[in-house]
Amino acid sequence: MFEVLVYVYENYWRGDACPELHQLERKLSAHGFEPDEIHEALVWLDGLNVAAENITLPPDTEEAWEADGAEADATSMRVYSVAEQDRLGAECLGFITFLESSGVLPAALREIVVDRAMAAPGDPVPLDALKIIVLMVYWRFGHEPDALVLDELCDDSSERLPH
C-alpha cells in the first residue's frame, strides 16, 4: 500500500490535482501495481478525503500554518488511548510529538495523521510508514513542507548513528 501512496505523492503534486479514485485505480493498474495494493491504498485515500472534509485550516501560509500548531499546543494536551499507544508505538508517538513541538503539525492535522495511521497496515506502524502518512496528509491539504521537515520525512533514520 505504501508504495502506491508514494507513487501518488510523487506524480500528483497536490491532492486537488489527483484524479477521482476510479480513474486513479486505472492509472495505478496500468502502472503495474497489484490489485490488492491498489484497493488498500484507495480505501485509505478515501478515508483521508473524508477526514479532510471535516477540517478547516487557516490560509496556506507558513505563518498561519505554524501559528495554528503553536496555539493548539499552548492550550491543550493530547492523551493517546491504549489502542493508539499499542498501534503506533513509542517511536511513532515520539515523532508526532516532535513535529507538533516544532510547530509544523497543527493539532487538527495531528488528529488526521493518527486516524490514518490507525487505519494503516502494520502492528505497530513502522516509523517509515508514519512519515509517508504525514506526507500524504500535507499533500491532501496542499501544504508543501519546508526543506528541513521534508528532509526529516524522507530521511532513512535507520542509517543514522546515535551520538
pLDDT in tens, 86-95: 999 999 999 9
Give the Cα separation of 99 and 92 in Å (integer): 11
Closest CA to 18 of 131, 154, 109, 142: 142
Q: What integer pLDDT is reported at residue 156 of this predicted model?
A: 61
pLDDT in tens, 41-87: 999 999 999 998 877 766 543 444 454 444 444 567 899 999 999 99
pLDDT in tens, 70-80: 444 456 789 99
* Vertex 54: Cα angle to 49 and 59 (nearest 5): 95
What's the burial of 159, exposed, middle or buried (CB within 10 Å: 0-12/13-18/19+)?
exposed
**Domain limits of the chain?**
2-159
pLDDT in tens, 111-150: 999 999 999 988 899 999 999 999 999 988 888 877 777 7
Give the Cα separation of 25 and 48 in Å (integer): 16
pTM of the entire predicted model: 0.82
Give the Cα separation of 60 and 50 in Å (integer): 20
pLDDT at 159 over 70: no
